[in-house]
Chains A and B, each alone.
Chain A
Amino acid sequence: MHELGKIHQLIISLGSYDLTFNLETIIMTWIVCGLLITFGFLASRKKGILPGPFQVIGELFVAQFFTLTEDALDKKLARTYGPLICALFMFLVLSNWLGMLPHLEEPTKDLNTPLSLGLMGFVIAHYTGMRSKGVKAYIKEYFEPIFFMMPLNLIGELAKVVSISFRLFGNIMGGSIIILVVSYLTYSIILPPFLNAFFGLFVGAIQAFVFTMLTLVYISVQVK
């Protein structure tokens, strides 16, 4: 039970600032990145009409998410944003599944990871909005329907970042706490595998998909 809420941090003082590194999160993120790069290498090494097992999985991911992006945006924009959406989902789903392996933890359990991904989506969506509509039309949208609604519209936009990142964080964090506590209460007999299947595999995959879909929708709302 004492593992709950314990974080290994590396704090470096730079003048009057303290730089804080959450070591576990960084290492786990590197592991996810390494696994994904290896997968990408294996999937594209021997490309052929008769695909190998890795190429099949890779093509499955790319085809699925490219179609999804095309449905939400148009064909031209899908070529720009398709790779982002696909990569985002693969990163998130692997991150959420990583915690099922012993001694490894989900990088998404740390609020910093979902929050930075959410901010990334936010910046990309608003940049896309400015480019497709023009800066003037983009700013004008904040003053609709009446000009004094501007602060509330602004807060509404920021609430999107909060909601997208806290949703992922809360689910993954909650799942891992439940697994930890129930395993402790039942002395790790019978229940933990089922809990891991539900909160790790199932909820992890759903939340990764939800995060990806929402990022895509935030972009598409800005375009139209």
Chain B
Amino acid sequence: MPYDLQTWIKVAAFAGGGLAMGFGAIGAAIGEGYTAAQANSALARNPGSVGTIFKSMLVGQAIAESASIFALVIAMILLFSNFTATSYVTVAGLLGAGLSIGFGAIGSGVGSGFPAGAACIGMGRQPAMSGRLTTNMLIGSAVCQTPSIFALVTSFILIFSDFSKVPVNPAWAALLGAGFASGLGAIGSGIGGGVVAEASCEGIARHPASVRQVTNIMLLGQAITQTPAILGLLVSFILIFKKFTATDAIAPGMALLSAGLCMGIGAIGPGLGEGIASSGGVRWIARNPAFTGTLTRTMLVGMAVAESTAIYSMVIALVLVFVV
């Protein structure tokens, strides 16, 4: 029994919504559980500051959940909107949108649980620094959300752009690839950013006098850790907005799909690795702030080397899009 276009659109919207919320639920839950565990261990050490620790646990968990809420928003839009499409490309677009935010919410959810947990532990050890720790945790968790916001931008573009004039054959693969590129690409950077913020919260609790340097270098480290996710966003923008010529062959489409997969999967490791590199820098700057300059330089060089594999992935992805 053949199905008409409208049925396929509905199928894609439902499948995309399910994938978005299903994958999107993974990360935040892990992050929140980690925060709660750390809060309990902090409470056991210092039962006197139960009020501040409990409050900061809840605030941290609320921020960790925002990535999942982005996925929920996309899932609701996919389930309850009426898409009047004129082309089969929209099917791929809706599916890609769901995949993008679904994968993209994993990293940020896991990542922003780390600083919240470290802040709880820090408040248990050093109750006098609660205010600064909360500020630092809020900044760190908010910057952790950036990769999931990139995935969200891609999802919105995939849902609301008008694809009625693009040729069906290579474009379906390009849109799916765009979803994979920014979705998978956000995983590593999200977790990596969390690792950096965790190190900074820990460092502030250990050595409160170093708070200014630690917060600054944390922001710097998190920002550079996001580079792989940004390269994923760039590749997905290229895949969405480049004009392709219509074709009957299957090879060009496959090249575009694998460009997205290459960039997305290739960005996971560098994001995590840069986060680990930067967390070392931040942790030891907190212990020895007098050598901030030297430590920062080493950290930056190390991160640049860890990033090079993301750049290899981007080169291969661009070759797949433009040359093959």
Residues of A within 8 A of B (CB): 1, 4-5, 68, 71, 152, 155-156, 159, 162-163, 166-167, 170-171, 173-175, 177-178, 181-182, 185, 198, 202-203, 206, 209-210, 213-214, 217, 221, 224
Most buried by B among A156, A174, A181: A174
Most buried by B among A155, A162, A170, A185: A170
Residues from chain A with a CB closer than 8 A to the CB of B139 are 206
Chief secondary structure at chain A's binding surface:
helix
In chain B between 260 and 310, which residues have their CB closer than 8 angstroms to a CB of chain A? 292-293, 297, 300, 304, 307-308
- A71 in contact with B292 (CB, 8 Å): yes
Q: Does B77 contact A (CB under 8 A)?
A: yes
User: Roughly how many angstroms separate A74 CA and B159 CA in the complex, as a whole number?
Assistant: 49
User: Roughly how many angstroms separate A39 CA and B297 CA in the complex, as a whole number?
Assistant: 36
Q: Does B315 contact A (CB under 8 A)?
A: yes
- A156 in contact with B149 (CB, 8 Å): no
Q: Does B8 contact A (CB under 8 A)?
A: no
- A170 in contact with B150 (CB, 8 Å): yes
**A178-B73 contact in complex given A4-B160, A71-B292, C-beta closer than 8 Å:** yes
- Total B residues in contact with A, Cβ cutoff 8 Å: 40
Residues from chain A with a CB closer than 8 A to the CB of B220 are 210, 213-214, 217
- B143 in contact with A152 (CB, 8 Å): no
- B311 in contact with A156 (CB, 8 Å): yes
In chain B between 120 and 156, which residues have their CB closer than 8 angstroms to a CB of chain A? 138-139, 142-143, 146, 149-150, 152-153, 156
User: Roughly how many angstroms separate A214 CA and B150 CA in the complex, as a whole number?
Assistant: 19
Q: Does B312 contact A (CB under 8 A)?
A: yes
Q: Which of B40-48, B197-205, B223-231 contacts A (4 or more CB under 8 A)?
A: B223-231
Task: Give A172's nearest chain B residue, CB to CB.
Answer: B149
| Complex A-B: 19 CB contacts under 8 Å | A68-B216, A152-B312, A152-B315, A155-B311, A159-B227, A163-B224, A163-B227, A163-B231, A166-B234, A170-B150, A171-B149, A178-B70, A181-B73, A182-B73, A206-B219, A210-B143, A213-B223, A221-B300, A224-B297
Distance to closest chain A CB from B303 (angstroms) = 11
Residues from chain A with a CB closer than 8 A to the CB of B300 are 217, 221
Task: Give B237's nearest chain A residue, CB to CB.
Answer: A166
- B311 in contact with A210 (CB, 8 Å): no
- B142 in contact with A166 (CB, 8 Å): no
Distance to closest chain B CB from A173 (angstroms) = 6
User: Roughly how many angstroms separate A202 CA and B142 CA in the complex, as a whole number?
Assistant: 9
Distance to closest chain B CB from A105 (angstroms) = 16
Q: Does B82 contact A (CB under 8 A)?
A: no
Residues from chain B with a CB closer than 8 A to the CB of A163 are 224, 226-227, 230-231
Most buried by B among A1, A68, A210, A221: A210
Known: A166-B234, A171-B146, A181-B73. 8 other contacts (CB 8 A): A4-B160, A152-B312, A162-B234, A163-B226, A163-B230, A166-B233, A185-B76, A206-B219
Most buried by A among B226, B230, B308: B230
Distance to closest chain A CB from B60 (angstroms) = 14
User: Roughly how many angstroms separate A154 CA and B146 CA in the complex, as a whole number?
Assistant: 26
**A5-B142 contact in complex given A162-B234, A217-B300, C-beta closer than 8 Å:** no
User: Roughly how many angstroms separate A223 CA and B116 CA in the complex, as a whole number?
Assistant: 36
Task: Give B217's nearest chain A residue, CB to CB.
Answer: A213
Distance to closest chain A CB from B306 (angstroms) = 12
User: Roughly how many angstroms separate A9 CA and B200 CA in the complex, as a whole number?
Assistant: 44
Most buried by A among B152, B300, B304: B152
Q: Does B314 contact A (CB under 8 A)?
A: yes
Residues from chain B with a CB closer than 8 A to the CB of A221 are 297, 300
User: Roughly how many angstroms separate A159 CA and B160 CA in the complex, as a whole number?
Assistant: 28
**A170-B153 contact in complex given A4-B160, A206-B142, C-beta closer than 8 Å:** yes
- B230 in contact with A203 (CB, 8 Å): no
- A162 in contact with B231 (CB, 8 Å): yes
Residues from chain B with a CB closer than 8 A to the CB of A209 are 219
Most buried by A among B138, B153, B216, B311: B153
Q: Does B164 contact A (CB under 8 A)?
A: no
User: Roughly how many angstroms separate A210 CA and B297 CA in the complex, as a whole number?
Assistant: 17
Residues from chain B with a CB closer than 8 A to the CB of A210 are 143, 219-220, 222-223
User: Roughly how many angstroms separate A150 CA and B157 CA in the complex, as a whole number?
Assistant: 35
Task: Give B156's nearest chain A residue, CB to CB.
Answer: A177
User: Roughly how many angstroms separate A1 CA and B77 CA in the complex, as a whole number?
Assistant: 11
Q: Which of A174, A198, A206, A213 contacts B150 (CB 8 A)?
A: A174
